[in-house]
């Protein structure tokens, strides 16, 4: 009998899983699955404890779902990608695997690992089939008229939508059951050799069904309210699907099809398109790391920004991490992330801008810290967002455009509802003064258990502009 092996990575689902569907296409083949945990590699990639725990939770759910379809899920843990290549080769020999099926990952270390696997298995006479599964359209398939990669989002998005209007990528059904389900022989997946931090199960319930339920609920009405609600962190106006997309519990195709099913005008400029645009941003950054592998090595996209003289101020960095900068909207955002492993997207922009443009601290320090905290950590999106905020990346905010953290708070959390949720020490400050609480405290002879601003924004802004202008002049 032919034996097919599904190699699982960030694709922890049975619905719309390209590699799984292909592995199960031959109804006579014996199909098994394998997940290899690589804790040492995860540490090098700054994976958060919450994300690692969430992966484990979803892996356990997936094991059950696969078993119900007669597909056993094997598990192994080793240090890093190099060790995983050798283990996979030995596993295929032991189990007499004829063909390997997997979904591509696009970061440079992952691509090198996959190339090493294909080389070894090819020498063993084993067929390897890879699939562009975590994207709506494959990298390199949407290009400029000169057949180059888009470096600016808006024309990329227009070309991308045009392709989708010509025909959307199909979703694969979950495979049918293959003989008796080996439920009694399930070997419990052991805990990873990695820090454990259990996510809030109300915010991030594990499992494919929980993800699909959330997607269906969002696609009905909230997606239409998203254009108005998405920038207000106090309101529940975002989809909060990012944790499921980053771990592959949900696919972008499932998201697109569900939105279009509910709102037929979504790709024609309807209200629902605003959220679809966020999916396209996700695609944009993934396409870029394939076209420009240096991005995976933490290199800035704009060469002259190599010359920026970053400040090495550990006290300022620690204050930023702890949410104790003295700027309420910045601190509330950081405390939200530190607590639940997720941060509202508007606040990701505000907090990133503050670190780079007010504290003049290297964006790579912030990029790494976000990955260490986020349950939805995704290298391409995180790197793209940080380089955008730092004015070092493709299609960046111009370096001379610097967010004022006080006015950002006034604009997006006017009454301070979100700030009070995460900064209880400011609960007695009136709405009109919540964004500059020390001015109110001094005026009213009050004492606040809240730090004074660690920098003065106007002076910090000038310092940053000078640093960027010197760097540009040195190039």
Q: Please say if 422 is a catalytic residue.
A: no
- The active-site residue out of 342, 386, 422, 440 is 386
- The active-site residue out of 275, 320, 363, 440 is 363
Taking residue 230's Cβ as centre, other Cβ atoms within 10 Å add up to 18
Strands 73-77 and 30-37, by their bridges, are parallel
- The active-site residue out of 7, 42, 275, 281 is 281
Q: Please say if 386 is a catalytic residue.
A: yes
Q: Please say if 445 is a catalytic residue.
A: no
- The active-site residue out of 68, 197, 229, 278 is 278
Note whether 226 and 275 are within 8 A (CB): yes
Q: How far apart are CA 417 and CA 234, in angstroms?
A: 6
Q: Please say if 342 is a catalytic residue.
A: no
Residues with Cβ within 8 Å of 210's Cβ and at least 6 positions away in sequence, in order, are none
Strands of 73-77's sheet in order across: 73-77, 30-37, 3-8, 99-103, 127-131
- The active-site residue out of 262, 338, 345, 410 is 345
SS3 label, residue 285: helix
Note whether 103 and 24 are within 8 A (CB): no
Note whether 245 and 255 are within 8 A (CB): yes
- The active-site residue out of 10, 68, 304, 310 is 310
Residues with Cβ within 8 Å of 325's Cβ and at least 6 positions away in sequence, in order, are 319, 331, 334, 354, 451, 453, 454
Q: Please say if 320 is a catalytic residue.
A: no
Note whether 11 and 37 are within 8 A (CB): no
Q: How far apart are CA 123 and CA 27, in angstroms?
A: 27
Q: Please say if 42 is a catalytic residue.
A: no
Residues with Cβ within 8 Å of 457's Cβ and at least 6 positions away in sequence, in order, are 358, 404, 405, 406
Q: How far apart are CA 238 and CA 231, in angstroms?
A: 9
Active site residues: 278, 281, 310, 345, 363, 386
């Amino acid at each position: 009998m032919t034996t097919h092996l599904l190699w699982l990575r960030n694709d922890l689902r049975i619905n719309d899983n390209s590699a799984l569907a292909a592995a199960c296409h031959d109804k006579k083949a014996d199909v098994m699955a394998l997940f290899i945990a690589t804790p040492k590699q995860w540490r090098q990639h700054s994976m958060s404890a919450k994300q690692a725990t969430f992966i484990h939770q979803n892996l356990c759910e997936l094991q059950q779902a696969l078993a119900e379809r007669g597909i056993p899920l094997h598990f192994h843990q080793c240090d890093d990608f190099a060790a995983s290549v050798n283990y996979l080769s030995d596993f295929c020999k032991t189990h007499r695997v004829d063909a390997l099926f997997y979904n591509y990952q696009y970061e440079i270390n992952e691509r090198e690992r996959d190339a090493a696997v294909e080389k070894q298995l090819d020498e063993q006479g084993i067929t390897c089939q890879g699939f562009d599964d975590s994207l709506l359209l494959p990298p390199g398939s949407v290009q400029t008229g000169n057949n180059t990669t888009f470096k600016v989002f808006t024309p990329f998005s227009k070309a991308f939508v045009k392709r989708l209007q010509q025909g959307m990528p199909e979703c694969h059904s979950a495979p049918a059951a293959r003989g008796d389900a080996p439920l009694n022989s399930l070997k419990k997946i052991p805990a990873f050799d990695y820090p454990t931090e259990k996510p809030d199960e109300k915010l991030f319930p594990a499992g494919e069904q929980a993800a699909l339920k959330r997607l269906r609920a969002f696609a009905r009405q909230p997606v239409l309210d998203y254009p108005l609600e998405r920038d207000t962190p106090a309101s529940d106006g975002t989809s909060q699907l990012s944790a499921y997309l980053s771990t592959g519990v949900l696919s972008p195709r499932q998201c697109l099809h569900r939105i279009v099913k509910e709102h037929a005008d979504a790709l024609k400029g309807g209200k629902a398109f605003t959220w679809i645009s966020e999916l396209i941003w996700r695609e944009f950054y993934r396409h870029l790391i394939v076209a420009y592998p240096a991005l995976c090595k933490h290199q800035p996209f704009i060469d002259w920004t190599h010359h920026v003289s970053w400040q090495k101020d550990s006290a300022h960095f620690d204050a930023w991490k702890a949410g104790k900068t003295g700027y309420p909207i910045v601190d509330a955002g950081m405390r939200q992330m530190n607590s639940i492993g997720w941060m509202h997207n508007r606040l990701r922009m505000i907090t990133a801008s503050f670190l780079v443009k007010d504290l003049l601290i290297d964006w790579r320090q912030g990029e790494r810290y976000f990955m260490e905290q986020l349950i939805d950590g995704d290298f391409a999106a995180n790197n793209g967002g940080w380089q955008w905020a730092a004015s070092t990346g493709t299609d960046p905010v111009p370096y001379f455009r610097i967010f004022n953290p006080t006015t950002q708070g006034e604009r997006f959390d006017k009454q301070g509802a979100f700030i009070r949720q995460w900064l209880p020490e400011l609960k007695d400050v009136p709405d009109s003064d919540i964004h500059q609480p020390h001015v109110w405290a001094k005026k009213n002879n009050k004492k606040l258990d809240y730090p004074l601003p660690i920098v003065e924004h106007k002076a910090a802004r000038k310092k940053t502009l000078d640093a960027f202008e010197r760097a540009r002049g040195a190039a």
